[in-house]
Amino acid sequence: MRSISLLGATGSVGTSTLELIRQSRAAWRVEALTANCNVAELAALAREFEAKVAVVADESCLDDLREALAGSGIEAAGGRAALCEAASRPVDITVAAIVGCAGLGPVMAAIDQGGTIALANKEALVSAGDVMTAAVAKHGATLLPVDSEHNAIFQCLAGNAIEDVRWITLTASGGPLRTMSMEELHAVTPAQAVAHPNWSMGAKISVDSATMMNKGLEFIEAHHLFPVGLDRIRIVVHPQSVIHSMVEYRDGSTLAQLGPSDMRVPIASCLAWPRRMETPCAPLDLVAQGELTFFAPDEERFPATRLAREAVQAGGAAPATLNAANEVAVASFLAGHIPFTRIALSVEEVLNQSAVTCAPTSLDEVLAVDSEARERTSALLESA
């Protein structure tokens, strides 16, 4: 029996993870399940999976959680410190699936225990970058990438030397708005932006896919996970999302990982690593698929990948600033306050206003950059 904690249990990745746990229930002991404030769902999951502790990040939801768990014997906790305490409990694997930089503290708490972390929460790695990878090295933790592209690269790198890599190619579906003109993009509604053609995901990452910021964040994520050098990581638009990413070696061989567009596949790869496990996913049918196509990204209409590349090249506080500005702008777009095209524009404005600063060297410094960039982005959007 293996033990697991799931941070962000009520979300899209969390739900997919629990589906896999459910299919081999006897093989798993669930330690902690967390959410922000979705008390009903969290309590139902905690009861079903007999979690030891359930945590809501939003402390104002704790009384409701206590009530929902009354008589179950499951510990209820709330607030940021409780989230980090739950994440630091020793388990065989922690799935980090909180959305946004809000997941950074808990991920770092799990890393500090030297555990194995299946990382979906890309914003945490983008913001903390070297602070996180240094903590992983210091504590002997293991980071397994859940993101389908990085999971694909991880698989393609197995048994090879990173020095032999010529290119890492991140594939991008291009999102639901890939073929729209600038005028059409300006008028895009939140409902259109979250309607991803291939993947079913939470609202924030769906908007990131539509702006291509998701690929920008993934570019930075790949740089930290697979240190081949920024000039060896490239992005190719592949609308069918069948090839999840590729690694080309110096002898001219390219290895690709293919699979259905279903997050249960990369999640299963992490849960079973270094072995494999069954999933209920439909097998890949290449004949039914028919064709696979590839395009260069269009950074005129979708400037986010350029912004991310420039931010990671600039270094210092720029990646954390990019991420924070994007989180605020996406929330504002989803709330109907700004047009779609304003998301990338505001990220660029905030980055341009930022003084060149040294790279943060601790979790507190990363969080300070994050919080300051959020304030500046909110002020910018309010003044517009």
Given the rule CB under 6 A, which residues bind ligand NDP?
Answer: 8-14, 35-38, 57, 97-99, 102, 120-123, 147, 199, 201-202, 204-205, 263
Residue pointed to by tokens 């225990």: 113
Tokens of 364: 């507190």
Rounded CA-CA distance 7/80 in Å is 12
Query: Which CB, 123 or 348, lies closer to ligand NDP?
Result: 123
Q: How far is the CB of 11 from ligand NDP (least distance, A)?
A: 2
Of 218 and 248, CB closest to ligand NDP: 218
Tell me the residue nearest to ligand NDP as measured from the CB.
Answer: 11
For residue 269, the minimal CB distance to ligand NDP (Å) is 13
Shorter beta-carbon distance to ligand NDP: residue 99 or 381: 99
Q: How far is the CB of 301 from ligand NDP (least distance, A)?
A: 22
Residue 210 burial (10 A CB sphere; 0-12, 13-18, 19+): buried
| Least distance in angstroms from the C-beta of 204 to ligand NDP | 6
Pick 40 or 137: Cβ nearer ligand NDP: 40
- Closer to ligand NDP by Cβ: residue 118 or 156: 118
Residue placing its CB nearer to ligand NDP in the complex, 10 or 346: 10
CB of 86 to ligand NDP, least distance (A): 11
| Cα torsion angle, 132, 133, 137, 142, sign | positive
**With contact defined as beta carbons under 8 Å apart, do 107 and 117 qualify?**
yes
Q: How far apart are CA 120 and CA 254, in angstroms?
A: 25
Q: Closest CB to ligand NDP among 279 and 349?
A: 279
Which CB atom, from 40 or from 384, has the smaller least distance to ligand NDP? 40
Q: CB of 382: closest distance to ligand NDP in angstroms? A: 21
Closer residue to ligand NDP, CB minimum distance, 93 or 263 = 263
Q: How far is the CB of 30 from ligand NDP (least distance, A)?
A: 15
Sheet containing strand 243-249, strands side by side: 233-237, 165-172, 243-249, 254-258
Q: Look-up: residue for tokens 């040294």?
A: 358
CB of 144 to ligand NDP, least distance (A): 13
Asked if 230 and 310 touch (Cβ cutoff 8 Å), the reply is no
Question: Least separation, in Å, of the C-beta of 331 and ligand NDP?
Answer: 11
Q: Which residues contact residue 320 at a Cβ distance below 8 angstroms, ignoring those fewer than 6 apart?
A: 101, 126, 127, 128, 129, 360, 366, 369, 370, 373
| Integer Cα distance of 319 and 217 in angstroms | 9
CB of 283 to ligand NDP, least distance (A): 20
Of the pair 39, 185, the CB lying nearest ligand NDP is at 39
